Amino acid sequence: MIDDAVVVENAEKWFGLNPALANVSLRVHQGEFVVLLGRNGAGKSTLLRVMARLVKPNRGGVRICGVDVARDPERGRERIGLVAHQTFLYPGLSARENLRLHARLHGIEGAGERVAAALSEAGLDLSADRPVRGFSRGMQQRLAIARATLHGPELVLLDEPFTGLDLEAAELLSERLRQWAAAGRTIVMATHNLEQGPEGVTRWVLLDRGRIVTEWTGDSRAARSRYRQFLTGAPDSSVGPRN
């Protein structure tokens, strides 16, 4: 049997008095494309960060491809690539140096070629040796995507990846998402708006106030209308404290 890509069991996380996650369990199979929906502060980001073991849950456990990340966070993180709206890039270093650093931290063999290939794939051949500080927002985003997936992660996590992207970078990201899905990578994406509805999503998971409210399958048009309904209507689920 193949291990599930992500298993979150009864995860609970408190920030002070506020529960960011309240008893969340989620299982993502290999090759699935799961979208986490919810308002700002519903716990999507925290859930992603619990998966990557950046956040230590107060209770509950996480396994990534069969690896218990509490026990062996490094082996869990090896399999993860995170694309977020922050770029994680060092502005003082060039594009190539940024990727090289990432390659060395991941212990990638033949780093030079992999880095060169990733740079040309991101369309950054010409500016590869210029410091990132001078890059446009779109270029930085392209580099950030190249960086997050340089080590060929089995599991790609995306945290509001479309926020602040220019049109070109957004198209590139959609293209990448299609490629990854086709290549059988597992994708978990958190977002609060579905304007750039991704394609090929296998499952939608709706979070509110740190809980999984409901989940469904289907295409993105149906999901969009269902999510809009949640945001505007359904008084029973939107009244009350939310974070």
Partner 1 sequence: MIDLQKYLGLLALLAMMAALYAIFVLAPVELTMGIVQKIFYFHVASAWVGFLAIYLVCFCSLRFLRKRDRQWDVRAASAAEVGAVFLTLNLVSGPIWAKPVWGIWWTWDARLTTTFVLWLIYMGYLMLRRLVESPEQRARLSAVVSIFGAVNALVVYMANRWWRTQHPQPVIAGGEDSGLHPDMWLALSVTLLALALLFFCLWKMGCDLERSRESVESLRRIAQRHLREVR
Partner 2 sequence: MKFWSQTAAILMKDILTEYRTRDVLTSMLLFGLLVILMFHFAFESDLEGIRKFGPGLLWMTFIFAGLLGMNRSFAGEKENDALEGLMLSPVSWSSIYLGKMLANLLFLLLAEAIILCLFSFLFNYGIWPRIGWMAAITFLGTLGFASVGTLLAAVSANTRMSEVMLPVLLVPLVLPVILSAVLATAANFAQPPEEQVMFFWIPVLAAYDIIFVTLSLMTFDYVLEK
- Footprint on this chain of partner 1 (rule: CB under 8 A): 14-18, 56, 58, 238-242
Helix and strand counts by DSSP (H, E) for the chain: 8, 10
For residues 34 to 63, the per-residue mask of contacts with partner 2, x marking binding by CB under 8 A and - elsewhere, is: ---------------x--x-xxx-------
Q: Which is nearer to partner 2, 105 or 167 (CB)?
A: 105
Asked if 55 and 13 touch (Cβ cutoff 8 Å), the reply is yes
Closest separation in Å from C-beta 229 to partner 2: 33
Rounded CA separation 13/239 (Å): 22
70 binds partner 2 (CB under 8 A): no
Nearest approach, Cβ of residue 31 and partner 2 (Å): 22
Q: What is the dihedral of CA 180, 181, 183, 184, to 10 degrees?
A: 120
Choices 100-108, 164-172, 181-189, 191-199; region in contact with partner 2 by CB under 8 A: 100-108
Nearer to partner 2, 34 or 83 (CB): 83
Segment near partner 2 (CB under 8 A), from 22-30, 95-103, 118-126, 171-179?
95-103
Q: Are strands 59-64 and 203-208 parallel, antiparallel or unpaired?
A: unpaired
Cβ atoms of 203 and 34 within 8 Å: the answer is yes
Pick from 30, 66, 68, 93 the residue near partner 2 by CB under 8 A: 93
Q: How far apart are CA 21 and CA 54, in angstroms?
A: 14
Smallest gap from Cβ 178 to partner 2, in A, equals 24
CA 14, 72, 189 angle in degrees (round to 5)? 55
Nearer Cβ to partner 1 (20/181):
20
Q: How far is the CB of 84 from partner 2 (least distance, A)?
A: 8
Question: At 184, is the secondary structure helix, strand, or coil?
Answer: coil
Closest approach, Cβ 239 to partner 2, in A, equals 30
Closest approach of Cβ 29 to partner 2, in Å? Answer: 23
Closest CA to 169 of 134, 135, 127, 202: 135
What is d(CA 65, CA 3) in angstroms, rounded to the nearest whole number? 5
Chosen residue from 107, 110, 240, 241 binding partner 2 by CB under 8 A: 107
Terminal C-alpha separation, the chain: 39
Q: Which residues bind partner 2 (CB under 8 A)?
A: 49, 52, 54-56, 74-75, 77-78, 80, 82, 84, 86-93, 97, 101-102, 104-107, 131, 147
